[in-house]
Amino acid sequence: MISTKFIIITGGVLSGLGKGVTTASIGLILKSRGFKVSVCKIDPYLNVDPGLMNPYQHGEIWITKDGYEADLDFGHYERFLDIALTNKHNITTGKIFLSVLEKERKGYYLGQTVQIIPHVTDEIKSQIKNIAKMDNAEILLVEIGGTVGDIEGMPFLEAVRQLRLELGEKNVIFIHVTLVPIIRGEQKTKPTQHSVKELRSLGIQPDIIICRCQEELKDETKEKISLYCNVDKDAVISNHDVEDIYEVPIILERQNLGRILLDKLGLKERYNKFDEWIKFVEKIKRIKDYVEIAIVGKYTKVVDSYISIVEALKHAGYKLNHKVKIRWINSERLEYDENYLKELMEVDGILVPGGFGKRGIEGKIKAIEFARENNIPFLGICLGFQLAVVEFARNVLKLKDANSTEFNPNTKHPVVDLMPEQKRIKQLGASMRLGEKMIKIKKDTLAYRIYGSEITFGRHRHRYEVNPKYINTLESKGLIFSGISEDSRAEILELKGHRFFVATQYHIEFSSKPLKPEPVFVSFLKACIDYKKEKRNAIKNKK
C-alpha cells in the first residue's frame, strides 16, 4: 500500500488570491517529476455543494464526470493535471455535518456527547485519508477554501493540524498563500505577517509561503517575510502577475519549488518532464494573431461565471496559433438597445453560454438571430443550444409564441420543455440531469466531421430539453439534430447552409485541456478565423 504524502494549501489576507491555480500548478510540478498526484478541495461553507449558489457570489459551477456540482477550482485542477475528479474530492462543512449527524442518529458514537473535537475533526481527517486511498495517490494536495481566521474554517484547520501531528512533518507539509500589496512603490509584508501569525496561533507553522503580488518579490521582501514568519528564505516564493495563468507553474518552478517540496517530503524525483509545459507556454508567447469572440451572457460583470468557456477558447486558439480576445456582451442590454446589437457585427464569432432564469433571455435570442441571419460563426452551449431552437422556431418556422416552458409555462409552442422525470422532483439541489453521458453522432454531418467518430461524451447540467415533438418539423426547415443521447434526447444541432452554426446541450467547455482542446471549440474558432480573413479581404478589395 502506498503511503500518501499530504500538502495542505491555506490562504490568508483575502479570498480570490488564486489558491486554485497555485494548487493546480504545484500538482503539475510534482506530476511532471513522476508522482501520482490527486487533489481535494475543502469548502468551509454550510452548503452541501455549491450547486444552488448564485454565479455572482461563487462564479462558475464545474461539473464532474459523475455529475457533481463543484467549485470552479475543480476546473483548474482537471485542466492542469489532466485528471477526472468526483464528488468525493470535495469536502464541505455541509457534507461533514451530514455525515456526523447521520452517524449520531444511528448510535455510532455510543452515547458520547458529539463535539467539534474530536468527532467533526475525526470525520474531516477520515474523508481526506479516504480520498488518498481511493486514488492510490502518492501525494494529495488539500486546498482549504476561504482565509485563515474565518470562523467556519476553524474545524478544518484543527483537523489538518492533527493530521500533521499524527503522520509527521515529512508526510504533511503546509503552504500558505498570502497577498503582498504594493503601496507607494513599496512591497508591504505586514498582511503576510499577520496572516501567518493567525495561522501559527492555531498551531500551524507554514513550511512554504507563496506570495501573490503584482511584481516579482524583491530580495529584501523575501528576507523580511522569512525573518518575521519563521520560514527559510528560499521557501518564500513569488507568485507575481503573468499574462496567462499557464505561466504560473513556470514561475514557481524557476524558484525551485519542486526541489523544495520534494526535500521537505523526503522524496526524490524519478524523472522531469516539465520541459513539455515550458514549450507549450513558449508557444503561447510567440502567438501574435488574434480572433475576437463575443460572449453573450447575463453574468458578464463576474467573468468567473464563464471561466471554463474562456479557457476552452484559449486552448483552441493555441492549437490554431491565435489568441482569443473576448468581447463581453450583456444580454439584458441587447433587449432594449438596438445600437448595442451592432457590436456583434464587429466580432469574428458569437457564443451564447448556459444560464438559468428569464433575465436577459430575449437578448440572447436576438444575438442568435443576428448570427444566423448575418452568417456569423455561432456556438451555443446548454441554454444557448435551447435558445437556438427557440429562435429558429420563432423566426423560421414562424411560431411566434415559441418558447421554453422555463420562461413561459403557458406557451402555445413549447419547443423546449421540462424533462418528464424533472416534473417528479421536489428538491432543487443536485437534481438536474447531471454528469457525463454518451452521445451518438449521425454520419455525414458537421458534428461527425468535427469529432471523427460516431460517439462522443459530454457533461450535462440542465432540467429542460428540446421537445421531441418538434424535432421533425425543425429538421424539415434545415435545423439538423446531429447528436442524440442514448435515451433519445437532442444533444447537438447544426444549421444547413451556414458557415458555422453549432450548439450542444452538453457543456463542451468541461472537456477541454490546454494540450487537448475540445474539438467543437477548435472547429468554431477555425470558422471564426476564416470569417475574419474574409472580412479583411473584402475591405482590401473595396480599396
- Known catalytic residues are 382, 507, 509
**CB contact at 8 A, 475 and 396:** no
Report phi then psi at 291, rounded to 5.
-135, 140
* H/E segment holding residue 174: strand 172-179
Say how far apart CA 109 and CA 36 lie, in whole Å. 35
**CB contact at 8 A, 3 and 267:** no
C-alpha grid cell, residue 68: 457533481
Looking at 148-218, list the stretches that DSSP marks H as alpha helix, in order from N- to C-terminal side: 154-167, 190-201
3-state secondary structure of 464: strand
Report phi then psi at 10, rounded to 5.
-115, 165
Say how far apart CA 486 and CA 484 lie, in whole Å. 7
End-to-end CA distance of the chain: 72
Looking at 52-178, list the stretches that DSSP marks H as alpha helix, in order from N- to C-terminal side: 55-58, 73-81, 93-105, 121-135, 154-167
DSSP secondary structure letter of residue 12: -
- How are beta strands 62-63 and 186-187 bridged, if at all? unpaired
3-state secondary structure of 280: helix
**CB contact at 8 A, 236 and 225:** yes
> Hey, what amino acid is at 390?
V
3-state secondary structure of 484: strand
- How are beta strands 69-70 and 62-63 bridged, if at all? antiparallel
